[in-house]
Amino acid sequence: MLFLTTFSTILITVVSLIHFRYEAKEYHEERLSRKESAIKEHIEYILKTTSYPLLTKNIRYIFKDRIHELSDIHSLEINFFDLNGKLLLSSKSAFKIDKKIPNIGINTLNDLRNSSEKRVVITKTKENDTYLKSSFSYIKDNKFKNLAILNIPYEENSDFYNEEAENFLTRYAQVFMIMFVISILLSYLLSRNITKSISQISEKLEITQLNKRNQKLNLQPGNQEINALILSYNNMVDTLEESAQKLAQSEREHAWREMAKQVAHEIKNPLTPMRLTIQSFQRKFDVNDPNMNQKLKDYSETLIQQIDTMTTVASAFSNFANMPGQQNEMLNIVQVSKTALEIFNEEYIQFTTTEQEILTLFDRAQLTRIVTNLVKNAIQAIPESQETKSVLVALSKVDDQFVLKISDNGIGISAENAAFIFEPKFTTKNSGMGLGLAIIKNIIENYKGTITFDTEEGKGTTFIVTLPIKN
């Protein structure tokens, strides 16, 4: 809108200036023509009343005393030339417009002879950008024969039209400023009305998520284009919600299938030795065997051991699937961490702290689980054959958080395993469910904390737990 307003203003200004210039040109041409007609009528009257013979050579004598009268009456310079273009007489000896009036050129004479109106007007541009017109026409005697050539120099004076154009442009500039301000207001209101709806859609798109219910937009009255966009967004929300439900259902089904496979796999492991033990017992069973009691005892212990293994598998999956609720209490993190380390007999485990007391609301059992699980993993990461073993547990306070670091000098974590270290069921050990780190990661995230690790193959790993202090 602003562009159209400015463009139309420029176009109107240019057309107006062209129009004023055209009017000025028309005015001067008509004025020169009227002046020339009046002068020629006056000349005809003088020729009718003169006593000199009407000859070209007598022109200077006929108008010798009258040419100044003609010039003063009509306020124009008047020059007489013979038919060959030589100057005969002029109204002024010192010319007002040109210092010297030359003879008529051959081209002008030819144009005059060939002109149907027997009149030629030549226009020249002066140094001050004004135009000088020179009119050439024949003076005829009483027998309509060419007697001489009348030349009337005419200087265009367009000051009046220039002033009119300046006044017009001044008024139009004022009108343009008013129109421009109105255009700005209208453009602002229109663009605000359009962009308001688009901004709402943009804001909704920014917060649109797959795993939550997204709010739809209301249609805007009288705005078909925006309503089409809103309808597309609402349809996308419906499609997204439907896709989210299907995805959630698919993920649940996939999780249950994977869980079922893992449980079946872990349960089959102890079932195989149980079956072999029973089959062996059946083959070797002898009532009279004096070692029967010892064999029965070994048989029973084997079955009990495998049953305990199956119980451990079931408990691990149960704990992962259904974490117990938080029983928060005010704890001294330093004291609880020291107590959790007392179950380990390894002499190379060291505990350091920068604080003697760090108080926060936390579940004692879950904090103990975090410490013991990470320390246990650190111990298992060190090969049995390694001579120098070290597990360092460091506790510190940073602003409103406490940081727990467990470092070992074991084999480290390979680059291909680092991305899956917190994944459920992932393990690099020969035994275990692969749920320990997944469980403690779940505990830490429930407390709005983070767990990360730094590792280097062959040198060891450091797990870093950061948890907020709550009072």
The confidence score (pLDDT) of residue 219 equals 66
* Contacts (Cβ under 8 Å, ≥6 apart) of 335: 357
d(CA 362, CA 2): 64
The confidence score (pLDDT) of residue 312 equals 64
- Start-to-end Cα distance in the chain: 61
| Adjacency order of strands within the sheet including 87-90 | 87-90, 79-81, 146-155, 131-140, 119-125
For residue 219, count CB atoms less than 10 angstroms from its CB and return exposed for 0-12, middle for 13-18, buried for 19 or more.
middle
Which stretches in the chain have pLDDT values below 50? Answer: 95-97
Structure tokens at 434: 């692969």
Please state the pTM of the whole predicted model.
0.40
Q: Alpha helices of 285-363 — where are they, by DSSP H?
A: 292-321, 333-340
Structure tokens at 342: 């007392």
Structural domains in the chain? 2-162 (3.30.450.20), 224-321 (1.10.287), 328-468 (3.30.565.10)
Do 337 and 291 contact (CB within 8 A), yes or no?
A: no
Structure tokens at 227: 């309503």
The confidence score (pLDDT) of residue 97 equals 46
Dump pLDDT digits (tens) for 369-403: 899 889 998 998 899 889 899 999 999 999 899 99
The confidence score (pLDDT) of residue 270 equals 65
The confidence score (pLDDT) of residue 394 equals 94
